[in-house]
Structure 1
């Protein structure tokens, strides 16, 4: 009886372990649509910049268009071949920054720029 129990326990562990090993988490942001990412970012900007109820839908539509464009660029330039991506990213950022300037107050836009600079500095610090 004891021997049978040990064999069954070993068999259960042997068949269960591979099933746990094969489950993987999706990369962050990989499964979210541009609309979902834009909504999440709008919520964060609402807290950080104090967006008014009138500004929220405008900012969200701008961010959704930007996320859609970024997704298209990501598909256009696969991971192994990113040459030419830089100028297109800069043009995209300038386009959407102009749209955001039209919606945000000067104080909010300055705060947005400050938040971006802080995020870039954190990324540089992590790379060191």
Structure 2
């Protein structure tokens, strides 16, 4: 009887540990990167963080959809193993254009908060990269 109880307890612990390992809290794509939020999800996040109006949210969704379509077109035109410097410059130009359009949608205060949050995220990413490099 004791052996049966011990066996059942071991099976329960093993099953619990196995299911705990299969959950993935952050969605990942096939390349191991986090999946990108949809334009609507991104607009919802910014609406909460920056207190956007309904009109601003709509404009932001439209802007983000246009930016993603432009990026997709640009990626399709670049040959595999092409000039990375030219691609980097093109992407920087696109980012500057997006930034200018975003300034037109947000108020000065909202844009300032957006810029601060973007800088904080960049710093956090840099810190994670450094941690990963030191672990290797």
TM-score calculated relative to the size of structure 1: 0.67
Equivalent-residue separation in structure 1 for 2:41 and 2:80 (angstroms):
25
Q: List 4+ stretches of structure 1 deviating above 6 A.
A: none
Q: How does 1:51-90 map to 2 (within 5 A)?
A: 51-77=52-78, 80-81=81-82, 83=84, 84-90=86-92
The alpha-carbon deviation at position 59 of structure 1 amounts to 0.9
Equivalent-residue separation in structure 1 for 2:106 and 2:81 (angstroms):
37
**Count of residue pairs the alignment pairs up:** 99
Structure 2: gaps of 5 or more residues: 1-27, 131-136
Deviations, residues 81-127 of structure 1 (Å, cap 9, x unaligned): 46121111111011111111111000001111111101110111011
Instruction: Identify if the C-alpha distance between structure 1 residues 74 and 54 changes in structure 2 by more than 3 Å, giving closer, same or farther.
Output: same
Instruction: Identify if the C-alpha distance between structure 1 residues 112 and 82 changes in structure 2 by more than 3 Å, giving closer, same or farther.
Output: farther
The alpha-carbon deviation at position 75 of structure 1 amounts to 3.1
Equivalent-residue separation in structure 2 for 1:85 and 1:48 (angstroms):
32
Structure 1: gaps of 5 or more residues: 1-24, 31-35
Deviations, residues 59-94 of structure 1 (Å, cap 9, x unaligned): 110111111122223333467446121111111011
Match of 1:96 among 98, 110, 134: 98
TM-score calculated relative to the size of structure 2: 0.64
- Tell me which residue corresponds to 1:29: 35
Aligned-pair RMSD on alpha carbons? Answer: 2.1
> Larger relative CO (CA 8 A, sep 6+): 1 or 2?
1
Where 1:127 maps in the other structure, the secondary structure is helix
Where 1:54 maps in the other structure, the secondary structure is helix
